Amino acid sequence: MIRAGLIFLAVAQGAAGLIQLFTPKFFYDDFPTSATPWVSLLPPYNEHLMRDVGALTLAYVLVLAAAAIWPEPKLVRVALAANLMFTVPHFVFHATHLDNYPVGSAIGQTIALGLGVLIPTALLIVSLRGTRLREARSEGTGPRS
């Protein structure tokens, strides 16, 4: 479950990061669709900023992907914590800046960005519980299967 979650986060965030880095104007004007853009509702456009955000997103996507490939508990927790260091403030900003958004876009964006916080949080909890359970079993104090 943790590996699948890490792969999902890496793919979803990686897609956004690639679009931001290589087609920043498209991301700004037409993400998630040209009919309901989200980013352009918060002007002004800045190509440098868009490309930097894309590159930084890809940097932590690399850590998510590494954790999915080598799911060592500490790496998994660092990857998920790095993801949350971006997604929590990102969610808070957007959830408090919805004035220019149509209701459907405001709801869609809030749900999408909220899932970007809930999924890594849930995976982090599962990872921590799994580590504690393994430690308890190795000490002979936890339940055995």
Q: Tell me whether residue 54 is exposed, middle or buried, using C-beta atoms within 10 angstroms of its C-beta: 0 to 12, 13 to 18, 19 or more.
A: buried
> Amino acid identity of 127?
S
pLDDT tens digits, 22-81: 999 999 999 999 998 999 998 899 999 999 999 999 999 999 999 999 999 999 999 999
Angle at 118 between CA 112 and CA 124, to 5 degrees: 140
Delimit the domains of the chain by residue range. 2-139
pTM of the entire predicted model:
0.81
